[in-house]
Amino acid sequence: MGTQPPDVILREPGNTQSGSPRVGVIRTLFGDVETPNFILCGTKASVKGVTVEMLREANTQIILANTYHLLVYPGPEVIERLGGLQHFTGWRGPMFTDSGGYQIFSLHHGSVADEVKGRRRGTGSRAPSSSSAGARESSEGGRDGRECIERSRERLGDAPLEAQDTGEPDSQLLRLDETGAIFRSYHTGQRVELTPERAMEAQTQLGADLIVALDECTPFHASKGGVYRDLRQESVSFVNEHPFFGSAIGGSLGADSEQMHAVVQETARQLRKDRPIHLLGIGRMRDIFHGVKQGIDTFDCVHPTRAGRHGSALVPRAFWEGDGAVGVPPSACWDHDDSSVETRGSAERPDLRAGSVPELASSMSSPSTAFLTGRPKRKKAFPVAAQTPKEYVDLRNAAFKFDDRPILHDCGCYTCRTASRAYLHYLLKAGEQLGGVLVTVHNIYTMNRLMGCISPVPRESSPGATANAHT
């Protein structure tokens, strides 16, 4: 890590009440991060299929690397010897590393194990769903913490380590207890130990600018507690009382969007406002809008890049218009007429360049009863498809076979400047890797543009752009 901690400047324009949108700058040795901001996930210190130069051209300011996967291979000692993550990867901007806590559960229960290990199931390759569950795949725990721990203990019992292999092909977890976890490396088969101390040591060796604690006082500490109000309050109190650089909202965020928004709203309201607040694993536009309104500063998720690799392109206009739309972008950001992207209704599009954050749907304006005090009662998933326009279009669809227009005609990304929908459709259907790369580039540019547009105060750079000096 750097020789000095990052500096942070946060302000809430025109409103100092808790839970209000705000802007800020996190200053690190490798550059500034304007907030609100979306942190792209580079699972193994690489955003899959995208070069560092592509990230820069798409106005990316900061990326995330997963501590657990770098602990498995090549090892933090190797990266430290080679000068840290920035020197190792060639990325000269700020970097964020997670605690590795999510992998304790995800690699054991198999939620993301196939992609991480390079395996494919079945013959089809469908685009990831933009449901709330799909968009939270990289959060610090996809299930309720109590439930996961209880289930793991039931399966592993108190047998010696050598006898604690579950025998399931997806399970790499050998032991889980109060001190940490022991995995079998999916790379070499050797044992890997992940404890709070080891997580901190590894992230320090990696040289990240912003790091997350597994269970220790560090620059960023995650507030957890699942959907239990008492546990959330206890965790928030602990985080607020200790000298952390920033706060993160992690753990299980609920079974559906309504419950997740209630948990985020209540937790963000209680966290200290003189520190940056990060929301772990959230990538849907609707959820980002809600988070910004609650004063969240940064977000991270694999969803935009994972969807891009499978041929799904972000289309903000379709999201911002129609029934259930949560807001309207400044016309200087998205002012195009794209008849091929379906929208519902013809909602008026007021100019928001003055800096007001788009209003959310009325159902999210007040705390929800979905934030529970006891064990949650599982509900039906929030009917995203019925209530919110799609955020993505699948370019593998036959409708794009003869479409010679760019994904969005007013988008300045490399893909929209150089490739037609028909060409992207062809590449994806032919199984050419370039197709996924080009759509991923578009999604990265669009997410960065989105964060500039929904900022409570217009940024000094061009609308939606996130200028950054990578030197």
CB atoms near residue 55 (< 10 Å): 24
Spatial contact of 260 and 144, defined as CB atoms under 8 Å apart: no
Q: Domain-by-domain residue ranges, the chain?
A: 7-140+196-337+350-378+391-453
Q: For position 14, what pLDDT does the model report? A: 54
Q: Indicate if the alpha-carbon torsion angle 398, 48, 440, 296 is positive or negative.
A: positive
What percent of the chain lies above the pLDDT cut of 90? Answer: 37
How much is the average pLDDT of 194-204?
A: 87
Is 0.75 surpassed by the pTM of this model? Answer: no
Q: What does the pLDDT look like over 390-400, one tens digit per residue?
A: 789 999 999 99
Q: For position 19, what pLDDT does the model report? A: 62
455 has pLDDT over 60: yes
Q: Going by DSSP bridges, is the β-strand pair 298-301/37-42 parallel, antiparallel, or unpaired?
A: parallel
Least confident piece of the model among 67-71, 109-113, 417-421: 109-113
Q: For position 147, what pLDDT does the model report? A: 45
Q: For position 268, what pLDDT does the model report? A: 93
Q: Which CATH class is domain 7-140+196-337+350-378+391-453?
A: alpha beta
112 has pLDDT over 80: no
> In sequence order, which residues have a C-beta less than 8 Å from that of residue 265 and are 6 or more positions away?
19, 290, 294, 364, 367, 368
Nearest 5°: the CA angle 243, 42, 213 is: 20
> Is the model more confident about 210 or about 399?
399
Q: For position 222, what pLDDT does the model report? A: 76
Least confident piece of the model among 179-183, 373-377, 451-455: 373-377
Task: List, edge to edge, every strand of the sheet that includes 180-184.
Answer: 173-177, 180-184, 191-194
How much is the average pLDDT of 218-240?
A: 81
Task: Give the closest residue to 210 by CA, choosing from 396, 35, 23.
Answer: 35
48 has pLDDT over 90: yes
Q: For position 424, what pLDDT does the model report? A: 98
Q: For position 10, what pLDDT does the model report? A: 78
Q: What does the pLDDT look like over 30-39, one tens digit per residue?
A: 999 999 999 9
